């Protein structure tokens, strides 16, 4: 063991530093600081072995200092704050409450109707907000009181909101999809488009689960009736700002009218104008800006820390070594992929979604691409029956769906803690128990996406 710490072999240094980093995360150190610290240590170690400690230390300092600035100024990252701002503006302007009210009037008559309305309204809000945590927090304030008033089981209500909030990870504009695109160097717009259909499928599976549970146990969520057709149609106009932003983002990206960054900026501007016309107060605007800033800083800090670690992994050559090992395994590539996803499920019990993906993708992504046959492989020659680019998109959607699943799994399930934090009458245990059936729904969704890649690849293939 002592010899391992005295080594100057980059690959062994990569293994040792990665073990140190994982130990720090397990001990509770924030992912951003654990990865940045481990990455810096690894850079110092590698360069010191080549050129002496003093010079190696200075090279590591310069490299670690330039990475955050170089990446923060890229165009891809600039769309994250605009997408987050859209969501908070929509909430503070009252658009989310209007969306839930419309969904309640249209589908409330179904068994578990308010739960179904929550799923559909969280999906709608996800289409203007890239943050799962924000979605869960918003609807914990809006939907849970409505469900409890109608006699819904409190655990069931909490579970629906926690699970519904995860849809923001997949339905564009998704901050996690943007981060994935940056890490694996794929087109952001194509990945965002790829999330539309799988996100809709996931929402429909959630809704089917809610209806099935309410039919099985009528005490969970009784239907809400009494709304006339006139009342239903009267609820539609107040939801138009949400649909307008969705249409703008879709047309800009799918139609090639503008970049995802321009779509986010235009969407935020339109929501702001509509919010002002609806009487949005200055305090609400300031609140939306502050909350958007806090969430953006948190995401950017994690990205900066992980990118220092990623740069170190590049010098250690650990991703290529892991990819070579994975590709050398004599078993069905699909079995290997499933084992990787199971490892994500376990890892997600102890880490937040963004940190988990940022931490693992630099190593796992090259391995998955190696399983497929490489980045430049044609569909006819690949293990998964798709080209290298298609495989990168398909795997991205699947792994982000895995990140969604991890948002509701104990003991870390961030969405569950958010819901419990907003609703003081609910314990974290109540929320986790309510969200457990949705874990099974997510497994079904992931199985469907693996079995039918066309669900993921159809819309991107139409973009030309």
pLDDT of the residue at 2: 44
pLDDT band at 12 (very low <50, low <70, confident <90, very high): confident
Residue 446 is encoded by which pair of tokens?
Answer: 């992931």
240 pLDDT higher than 50: yes
Of 311, 257, 275, 292, nearest to 79 by C-alpha is 292
Do the Cβ atoms of 304 and 32 come closer than 8 Å?
Answer: yes
Q: What are phi and psi of 371, to 5 degrees?
A: -60, -40
Higher pLDDT, 106 or 262: 106
Of 418, 394, 396, nearest to 162 by C-alpha is 418
Angle between helices 240-254 and 260-277 (to 10 degrees): 160
Residue 167 is classified by DSSP as G
pLDDT of the residue at 437: 94
Percentage of the residues of the chain whose pLDDT score is greater than 70: 94
Distance CA 441, CA 140 (A): 21
pLDDT band at 267 (very low <50, low <70, confident <90, very high): confident
61-93: pLDDT as tens digits? 888 888 777 766 677 677 788 888 888 888 878
Distance CA 205, CA 433 (A): 19
Boundaries of every domain in the chain: 1-73, 79-296
Burial 259-273, CB ≥16 within 10 A → b, else e: bbbbbbbbbbebbbe
133-160: pLDDT as tens digits? 778 888 988 999 999 998 999 999 999 9
279 pLDDT higher than 70: yes
379 pLDDT higher than 80: no
Mean pLDDT for 266-291 is 85
Do the Cβ atoms of 153 and 436 come closer than 8 Å?
Answer: no
Of 286, 303, 298, nearest to 88 by C-alpha is 286
Mean pLDDT for 290-294 is 85
Q: What are phi and psi of 156, to 5 degrees?
A: -60, -45
CA distances in angstroms from 366 to 38, 49, 305, 388, 424, listed in the order given: 21, 27, 20, 11, 44
Do the Cβ atoms of 435 and 412 come closer than 8 Å?
Answer: no
Residue 346 is encoded by which pair of tokens?
Answer: 């376990």
| 420: CB partners within 8 A, 6+ apart | 158, 426, 427, 428, 430, 431
| 324: CB partners within 8 A, 6+ apart | 370
pLDDT of the residue at 199: 93
131 pLDDT higher than 60: yes
Q: What is the pTM of this model?
A: 0.85
Other Cβ atoms closer than 10 A to 11: 13
Burial 442-463, CB ≥16 within 10 A → b, else e: beebbeebbeebebbbebbeee
pLDDT of the residue at 1: 43
Distance CA 461, CA 454 (A): 9
Q: What is the DSSP string of 285-331?
A: HHHHHHHHHHHHHHHHHHHHHHHHHHHHHHHHTHHHHHHHHHHH--S
Mean of per-residue pLDDT scores for the chain: 84
pLDDT of the residue at 114: 94
439 pLDDT higher than 80: yes
């Amino acid at each position: 063991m002592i010899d391992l710490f005295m080594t100057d072999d980059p690959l062994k240094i990569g293994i040792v530093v990665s073990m140190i980093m994982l130990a720090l995360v397990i001990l509770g150190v924030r992912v951003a600081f654990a990865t940045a610290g481990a990455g810096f240590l690894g850079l110092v170690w590698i360069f010191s072995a080549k050129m002496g400690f003093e010079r190696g230390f200075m090279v590591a300092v310069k490299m670690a200092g330039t990475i955050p600035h170089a990446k923060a100024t890229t165009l891809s990252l600039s769309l994250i704050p605009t997408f987050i701002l859209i969501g908070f503006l929509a909430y503070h302007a009252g658009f989310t409450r209007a969306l839930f009210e419309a969904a309640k009037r249209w589908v409330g008559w179904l068994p578990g109707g308010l739960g179904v309305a929550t799923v559909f309204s969280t999906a709608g809000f996800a289409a203007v907000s890239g943050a799962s945590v924000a979605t869960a927090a918003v609807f914990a304030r809006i939907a849970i009181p409505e469900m409890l008033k109608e006699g819904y089981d409190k655990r069931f209500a909490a579970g629906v909101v926690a699970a519904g909030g995860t849809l923001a990870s997949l339905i564009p504009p998704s901050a996690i999809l943007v981060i994935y695109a940056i890490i694996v160097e794929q087109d952001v717009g194509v990945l965002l488009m790829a999330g539309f259909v799988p996100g809709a499928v996931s929402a429909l599976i959630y809704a089917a689960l809610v209806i099935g549970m309410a039919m099985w146990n009528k005490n969970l969520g009784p239907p809400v009736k009494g709304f006339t057709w006139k009342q239903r149609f009267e609820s539609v106009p107040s939801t138009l700002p949400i649909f307008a932003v969705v249409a703008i983002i879709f047309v800009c990206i799918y139609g090639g009218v503008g970049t995802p960054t321009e779509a986010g900026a235009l969407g935020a501007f339109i929501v702001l104008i509509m919010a002002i016309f609806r009487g949005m107060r200055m305090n609400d605007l300031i609140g939306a800006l502050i909350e958007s800033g806090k969430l953006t800083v948190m995401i950017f800090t994690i990205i900066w820390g992980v990118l220092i670690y990623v740069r170190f992994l590049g010098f250690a050559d650990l991703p290529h070594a892991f990819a070579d090992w994975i590709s050398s395994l004599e078993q069905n590539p699909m079995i290997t992929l499933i084992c990787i996803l199971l490892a994500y499920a376990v890892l997600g019990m102890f880490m937040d979604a963004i940190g988990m993906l940022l931490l693992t993708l630099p190593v796992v992504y090259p391995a998955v691409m190696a399983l497929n046959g490489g980045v430049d492989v044609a569909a006819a020659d690949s293990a998964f029956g798709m080209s290298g680019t298609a495989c990168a998109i398909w795997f991205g959607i699947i792994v982000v769906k895995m990140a969604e699943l991890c948002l509701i799994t104990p003991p870390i399930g961030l969405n569950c803690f958010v819901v419990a934090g907003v609703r003081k009458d609910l314990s974290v245990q109540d929320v986790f128990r309510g969200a457990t059936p949705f874990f099974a729904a997510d497994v079904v969704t992931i199985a469907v996406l693996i079995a039918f890649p066309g669900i993921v690849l159809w819309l991107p293939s139409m973009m030309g």
